[in-house]
A = this chain, B = another copy of it.
Amino acid sequence: VTGLEVVVPPGELLRLGGPLRKDVASYDLKRLIIGSEGTLAIVTAAWLRLVPTPESSQTILAGYPDLSSGIEAIETVVGSGLEVATLEYLDQGALAAAPPVFLGGSNGVARFAVLCQADGSPEETRALTESVLEALTPNALFVHTPTRDDDVASVWRWREGLTAAVTAQHGGKVSEDIVVPFDKLSDAIAGTVAIGERLGLPACSWGHAGDGNIHSTFLINRAKPDQIWAAEQAAADLFQLALSLGGSISGEHGVGLVKSGYLARQLGARGFQLHTGIKQLFDPKGLLNPNKKV
Contact = CB atoms under 8 A, between A and B. Distances in A.
B271 A24 contact: no
A209 B273 CA distance: 41
B213 A22 contact: yes
B19 A263 contact: no
A224 interface: no
A251 B26 CA distance: 11
A250 B35 contact: no
A271 B16 contact: yes
Interface in A13-64: 14, 16, 18-29, 31-32, 34-36, 40, 51-52
A101 interface: no
Contact of A281 (B14, B16, B127, B281): B281
Interface stretch (A69-77, A141-149, A161-169, A241-249): A241-249
Contact of A182 (B19, B40, B127, B277): B19
A32 B21 CA distance: 18
A23 B251 contact: yes
Copy number in the complex reads: 2
A29 B34 CA distance: 12
A28 B35 contact: yes
A105 interface: no
Nearest to A128: B121
Contacts of A81: 52
A22 B275 CA distance: 18
A275 B27 contact: yes
Nearest to A50: B81
A254 interface: yes
Interface string A152-193: 000000000000000000000000000111110000000000
A8 interface: yes
Given A28-B28, A28-B31, A281-B278, A252 B8 contact: no
A179 B24 CA distance: 10
Interface of A: 8, 12, 14, 16, 18-29, 31-32, 34-36, 40, 51-52, 81, 83, 121, 123-124, 127, 179-183, 208, 210-213, 246-255, 259, 263, 266-268, 270-271, 274-275, 277-279, 281-282, 293
27 contacts: A14-B267, A14-B268, A14-B270, A14-B274, A16-B271, A20-B246, A21-B212, A22-B211, A22-B213, A22-B248, A22-B251, A23-B179, A24-B35, A24-B248, A24-B252, A25-B263, A25-B267, A26-B255, A27-B32, A27-B36, A28-B31, A29-B267, A31-B31, A32-B32, A51-B83, A52-B83, A274-B281
